[in-house]
Amino acid sequence: MSDPIKVLFVCVHNAARSRMAETLLNAAGAGRLAATSAGFEPHPISPIVTQALAEIGLRPSSTEPQPSVFDLFKQSRRYDYVISVCDGADGERCPVFPGVTERLAWSFPDPNAFTSSDTEKLVRTAEVREAIARRIADWLATLARGGRLS
């Protein structure tokens, strides 16, 4: 078996979207992909995100803040793909990971910006989770068609 495809998901705080994407891709990738996540201003994972992942039987690798994008760069980490998951409003602040890699931008609403009851926040966060899961499934199908996944 060849080395897994390395994927880094980035967003500003690394508290919601990138953590969901990391968890979902690692679950779907079946060892063929290895996802991590980072942010420009790392925060602990949002409890509502942990709850939304638990609804589908998943747990994030950690609830603590992950290293910043800059820490990973200083460690000379290399990734095959760097995928930003910031929404349009945060797009300018979303960090860009330097290096030779393929960059993708997937825009999703930030669950931490939702202002409503806890029940409604969970429903909306689950909608973002499902949108990320669909995007990952589509991307994996594209990789498979292109011969990147064996």
pLDDT at 60 (0 to 100): 92
- For the residues 82-107, what does the mean pLDDT come to? 74
Cα separation, 35 vs 29, in Å, equals: 9
State both tokens at 67: 């290293």
> Range of 73's domain?
5-145
| Counted domains in the chain | 1
Gap between the Cα atoms of 122 and 108, Å rounded: 15
SS3 percent helix, strand, coil of the chain, rounded to 5, is 40, 15, 45
Of 93, 3, 81, the C-alpha closest to 37 is 81
> Could you tell me the two tokens for 132?
């990320």
The residues with which 116 forms a beta bridge, in sequence order, are: none
The enclosing domain of 139 has a CATH number of: 3.40.50.2300
The answer to which of 13-27, 31-45, 64-78, 104-118 has the lowest mean pLDDT is: 64-78
- Separation of first and last alpha carbons in the chain: 9
The answer to whether residue 85 is domain-embedded is yes
- Per the domain annotation, does 65 fall within a domain? yes
pLDDT at 108 over 60: yes
With pLDDT > 90 as the criterion, what percentage of the chain qualifies? 58
Is there a domain that residue 103 lies in? yes
Residues 29-81: tens digit of each pLDDT: 878 999 999 988 889 999 999 999 999 999 998 888 888 888 888 888 888 99
77-94 pLDDT tens trace: 888 998 989 876 665 665
At 44, list the tokens.
């602990």
**pLDDT for residue 40:** 84
